[in-house]
Structure 1
Amino acid sequence: MAERTLAIEVAYALPHKQKILGFTVPEGTSVREAVRLSGIDAHFPELQLDECPVGIFGKAVPKPDERAVNSGERIEIYRPLIADPKEVRKQRAAKAKAKAAEEKTAE
């Protein structure tokens, strides 16, 4: 009996370049192995495929070496955060508060 294959996609994006690769993998392939099989590192040589965080349709996969892919799924490779989103929001709020106070004293 022929081995069953699953159609999946692997996606990675930078601000100036994105790539979505569609291909098939054998049933039972792990998320991490699917990323390796995709060949996406040929387009983005800087990727560390064994370490990069990944998700499926926007939800992080905590154990990509254990979780098997399902047909039709899109595996997304995530970039490291440049800044902590909470800290950025705090800074933005502080800046807005300072500007509001400045405008109030100028009246």
Structure 2
Amino acid sequence: MIEVEVLLAWPQRLLSRRVQLEEGATVADAIAAAALEGSADCPAVAVHGLLARPQQALLDGDRIELLRPLLADPKDNRRRRAHGG
């Protein structure tokens, strides 16, 4: 058995759940087991801050981060700041 943490963060809120899985479990297995509200709305996932695929195998102690969609395009934000907006 391995134990991993699955988390989903917002600016003012954090959902986190530790789950125990069989050896060889994947990122997708952990997300399904954690069943965090809002996880279906996350277009990407990372393991310890590095982008990961759903079929990636996990190790004991891994931290799976559900990545929320961007609310604004970073390039547009930089342009706006550069033009004083």
Tell whether the structures are fold-level matches, with TM greater than 0.5: yes
Query: What is the identity, as a one-letter code, of the residue corresponding to 2:44?
Result: P
Fraction of identical pairs, as percent? 31
C-alpha distance in structure 2 between counterparts of 1:18 and 1:85, whole Å: 23
Larger Rg: 1
Question: Higher RCO, 1 or 2 (CA under 8 Å, sep at least 6)?
Answer: 2
User: Contact conserved, 2:19 with 2:30, CA < 8 A, in 1?
Assistant: no
C-alpha distance in structure 2 between counterparts of 1:38 and 1:47, whole Å: 9
Q: Give the match for residue 15 of structure 1.
A: 11
C-alpha distance in structure 2 between counterparts of 1:88 and 1:21, whole Å: 33
TM-score where L is the length of structure 1:
0.71
C-alpha distance in structure 2 between counterparts of 1:28 and 1:35, whole Å: 14
Query: What is the identity, as a one-letter code, of the residue corresponding to 1:35?
Result: I
Q: How many residues align?
A: 85
More strand by share: 2
Provide the alpha-carbon RMSD of the alignment.
Answer: 1.8
Q: For each residue in 1:36-73, what CA deviation from the matched residue of structure 2 results, as whole angstroms up to 9, or x when unmatched?
A: 11121xxx2x4317x63110111111x21x21111111
Give the unaligned 5+ runs of structure 1. 97-107
* Aligned with 2:49 (options 37, 55, 58): 58
Query: What is the identity, as a one-letter code, of the residue corresponding to 1:93?
Result: A
More helix by share: 1
Query: What is the identity, as a one-letter code, of the residue corresponding to 1:58?
Result: G
1:1-107 equivalences under 5 Å are 5-40=1-36, 44=37, 46-48=38-40, 52-61=43-52, 63-64=53-54, 66-95=55-84
User: Contact conserved, 2:19 with 2:33, CA < 8 A, in 1?
Assistant: no
Give the unaligned 5+ runs of structure 2. none
